[in-house]
Amino acid sequence: MHGSPEARALHDLYPAIDLHADSLMWSRWVNYDLHARHEPPLPFAALGGHVDVPRMKEGGMGAQFFGLVSLPIGQRHGLARVIDEQIDALEGQISRAPHRIIKVRTAAEIEAARARGQVGALLGIEGGHALEGSLDKLAHFARRGVRYLSLCHFSRNELCYPAYGRGRQDDAGLTQFGREVVAACEDLGVVVDLAHINRAGFLEACAMAKRPPIVSHTGVIGAFEHWRNVDDAQLRAIADKGGVVGVIFCPQFLGGDGLAPVVKHLKHIIDVCGEDTPALGSDWDGFIVPTRDLCDAARLPLLTDALLASGMRPEAIGKILRGNVMRVLADVP
Signed CA dihedral, 314, 315, 319, 323: sign only: positive
Q: Would the pLDDT of 154 be above 90?
A: no
DSSP letter for each residue of 19-85: EEE-HHHHHHHH---TTS-PPPPPTT--SS----HHHHHHTTEEEEEEEEE---SS--SSHHHHHHH
DSSP letter for each residue of 234-249: HHHHHHHTT-EEEEP-
H or E, element range at 279 = strand 278-280
CA distance from start to end of the chain:
36
Q: How far apart are CA 69 and CA 66, in angstroms?
A: 9
What local confidence, expressed as pLDDT, does residue 199 receive? 98
Mean pLDDT for the stretch of residues 193-207: 98
Mean pLDDT for the stretch of residues 253-275: 98
Higher-confidence residue: 48 or 241? 241
What percentage of the chain exceeds 70 in pLDDT?
Answer: 97
pLDDT, mean over the chain = 95
Q: Which amino acid is at 260?
A: A
- Reference 233, options 268, 203, 196; nearest CA is 203
Q: How far apart are CA 234 and CA 241, in angstroms?
A: 11
Over residues 28-54, the pLDDT tens digits come to 988 999 999 998 887 766 778 999 999
Higher-confidence residue: 114 or 71? 114
Q: Which domains are seen in the chain, by residue range?
A: 5-331 (3.20.20.140)
Dihedral angle computed from the Cα positions of residues 85, 90, 91 and 92, in that order, rounded to the nearest 10 degrees: 90
Q: Would the pLDDT of 77 be above 80?
A: no
Mean pLDDT for the stretch of residues 259-281: 98
Mean pLDDT for the stretch of residues 123-150: 97
What local confidence, expressed as pLDDT, does residue 74 receive? 47
Q: How far is CA 79 from CA 28, 32, 163, 180, in A?
A: 14, 21, 21, 20
> Greatest CA separation found in the chain?
52
Q: Tell me the Cα Rg of the chain.
A: 18
DSSP letter for each residue of 73-136: SS--SSHHHHHHHHHHHHHHHHHH-TTTEEE--SHHHHHHHHHTTPEEEEEEEE-GGGGTT-HH
Q: Is 100:35 a contact under the CB 8 Å cutoff?
A: yes
Higher-confidence residue: 77 or 300? 300
DSSP letter for each residue of 13-24: HS-EEEEEE-HH
Q: Would the pLDDT of 128 be above 90?
A: yes
DSSP secondary structure letter of residue 162: B
Mean pLDDT for the stretch of residues 278-293: 94
Instruction: Count the helix, strand and coil residues of the chain and give each as a percent rounded to the nearest 5.
Output: 45, 15, 40
Mean pLDDT for the stretch of residues 19-33: 92
pLDDT band with cut points at 50, 70 and 90 for residue 75? low
Q: What does pTM read for this prediction?
A: 0.96
Q: How far apart are CA 127 and CA 98, in angstroms?
A: 29
